[in-house]
Amino acid sequence: EKDPLIVLVTGAAGQIGYALLPMIARGAMLGRDQPVIIHMLDIEPNAETLIGVKMELMDGAFPLLKGVIATTDVIEACKGVDVAIMLGGFPHRKDDNKDLIFSNVAIYKAQASALEQHADPDCKVLVVANPANTNALILKEYAPSIPEENITSLTRLDHNRALNQIAEKLNVNVGDVKNIIIWGNHSSNLYPDANHATVNTGVGHESVKELIDDDHWLNTNFITNVQTRGQTIVKARRLSCASSAAISVCDHMRDWILGTPTGTWVSMGVYSDGSYGIQPGLIYSFPVTCEKGEWSIVQGLKIDEFARGKMDALQRELIEEKRVAYSYPH
């Protein structure tokens, strides 16, 4: 049997945590043969909820689950961690982006230091809490000894939502659609790009763009459907999405650690290296393939003028978030 990996989930008493924890314990994230020890972190006002969530996790009687720690102590939570899923953060309040960024800078600064000092030196981190890209950037800045390629942010939910939109439009199984791209920022202006996506039609991989044959739809409704999907769910469920977010977290980590299938890429927020003219020093979502725990940005895709405009606008948005984050009083 493999040695257990220690998985930290911050904000574990929250909505996504509730859906995610049993998935991790069941092997949906790291594999059905990978034992795990779960560290759940939340803040003092939610300490009791956290204990309740832990009790349910224990009652799942998961053979892969070798231990659970539920704590409000960030240092205890970060000890020996191999994989860190950062769901915890200051909640969004309408039209107060600066406040949101500042509150999260304080949180991510402290958690970065704790991870740097107490986690495994090769710990892999996924930031989910919004603003996810900028929180990931702060974490990277304040944990300089964690390799920069180990710090990523979530755009996989948007990626999966985009795959579903295409599958519904073409009336095909979502498992046959691949190679969507979510570029840039996980924000209300996010850009799903289907220009390079394909559908397995049984006889081969055909271009989504050609099959749909409606650039207007791809450049309007398709984009807004993905952008507003979260709000559409809130309206229907009267709660924000949780299980789809948890699934996408598992997808992100599983593909990163165990590898993407040949010929398939996925979207991940990663530290930019100048690819596609995006300036280095941002956490920007790119199409990536993964092998043996390492991601690499898919190179050489043709970018049309429409996509270029969206990619640049999202870059500007991230530069602005970064500026605000860096103006946080040190």
Binding mask 139-168 for ligand NAX (x = CB under 6 A): ---------------x--x-----------
Rg over CA atoms, the chain: 19
Q: Which of these ranges, 129-137, 254-262, 275-283, 308-316, lies near ligand NAX under the rule CB under 6 A?
A: 129-137
Q: Select from 4, 10, 185 the least CA-distant residue to 85.
A: 10
Q: Select from 124, 168, 58 the least CA-distant residue to 256.
A: 124
Q: In the bound complex, what is the minimum distance in angstroms from residue 224's beta carbon to ligand NAX?
A: 17
> Can you point out the beta strands (E) in the chain?
5-10, 36-41, 65-71, 83-86, 124-127, 151-153, 177-178, 181-183, 191-193, 198-200, 205-207, 266-271, 283-291, 294-297
Q: Out of 39, 159, 186, 196, which one is annotated catalytic? A: 186
Q: Which of 4, 15, 164, 205 binds ligand NAX (CB under 6 A)?
A: 15
Beta carbons of 65 and 57 less than 8 angstroms apart: yes
How big is the site for ligand NAX, counted in residues (CB under 6 A)? Answer: 27
- Whether omega before 35 lies within 30 degrees of 0, making that bond cis, reads no
Beta carbons of 189 and 314 less than 8 angstroms apart: yes
**Does 89 engage in binding with ligand NAX (CB under 6 A)?**
yes
CB closer to ligand NAX, 15 vs 219 = 15
**Does 107 engage in binding with ligand NAX (CB under 6 A)?**
yes
Q: Which of 6, 8, 40, 42 binds ligand NAX (CB under 6 A)?
A: 42
**Amino acid letter, residue 162:** A
Q: Which of these ranges, 7-15, 58-66, 218-226, 250-258, lies near ligand NAX under the rule CB under 6 A?
A: 7-15
Q: State yes or no: is 39 an active-site residue.
A: no
User: Quick one: angle between helices 243-258 and 156-170, nearest 10?
Assistant: 110
Q: In the bound complex, what is the minimum distance in angstroms from residue 214's beta carbon to ligand NAX?
A: 27
Q: In the bound complex, what is the minimum distance in angstroms from residue 5's beta carbon to ligand NAX?
A: 20
Beta carbons of 133 and 321 less than 8 angstroms apart: yes
Enumerate residues 222-241 that contact ligand NAX by CB under 6 A: 240
CB closer to ligand NAX, 107 vs 311 = 107
Enumerate residues 6+ apart whose C-beta is below 8 A from 132: 153, 154, 155, 186, 269
**Does 101 engage in binding with ligand NAX (CB under 6 A)?**
no
Q: Select from 40, 293, 308 the least CA-distant residue to 181.
A: 308
Contact residues: ligand NAX, CB under 6 A: 10-11, 13-17, 41-43, 46, 87-89, 91-92, 107, 128-130, 132, 154, 157, 186, 240, 242, 245
Which residue numbers are catalytic?
Answer: 186
